[in-house]
Amino acid sequence: MNRSWLYVVLTCLFELLWVYGFNVANSWWHWVIIVGIIAVDFHFLAKACENLPTGTVYAIFAGAGTVGTALMDVWLFNESLSAAKMGFMIILIAGVIGLKLADQAAEARQKEQGAAS
């Protein structure tokens, strides 16, 4: 696996950690830990953007955070899960996959043009 994609996975995981922290923090030192997690998260986000298209990285980051947070609310904090929520999460995931596929197609075209030159 490309190291940049590992950074994408890590930034998604750390995003879910700090969002979870927002829900459970109840003292000042919890917030210190959360700020540290956010700093590490943004470091991984920046590292991922060094070699991957920023739009794709951010879409995955935001999509994983949105879907992960919604599912975390259901499983950990007893929120309801409706058909509408599920449908919109599926649309969001489809959009992130579509962006990745579009980037791959654009990279392939650039390689073909570079080879033809």
Sequential DSSP letters for 40-63 = HHHHHHHHHHHHS-HHHHHHHHHH
The tokens for 90 are 């599926």
Give pLDDT < 70 ranges for the chain.
1, 117
Written as six digits, the tokens of 34 are: 């959360």
Tokens 């590292």 sit at which residue?
Answer: 47
The domain of 29 spans 3-116
Q: What is the reported pLDDT for 24? A: 92
Q: What angle do CA 79, 21, 14 make, to 5 degrees?
A: 105
Q: pLDDT tens, 24-33?
A: 999 999 999 9
Question: Quick one: pLDDT at residue 1?
Answer: 52
Number of separate domains in the chain: 1
pTM of the model: 0.78
| pLDDT attached to residue 104 | 78
Count of C-beta atoms within a 10 Å radius of residue 45: 20
Query: Given phi > 0 = left and psi -120 to 50 = alpha, else beta, which region is 78?
Result: left
CB distance 97 to 41 below 8 Å: no
pLDDT of residue 22: 93
* Separation CA 97–CA 89 (nearest Å): 12
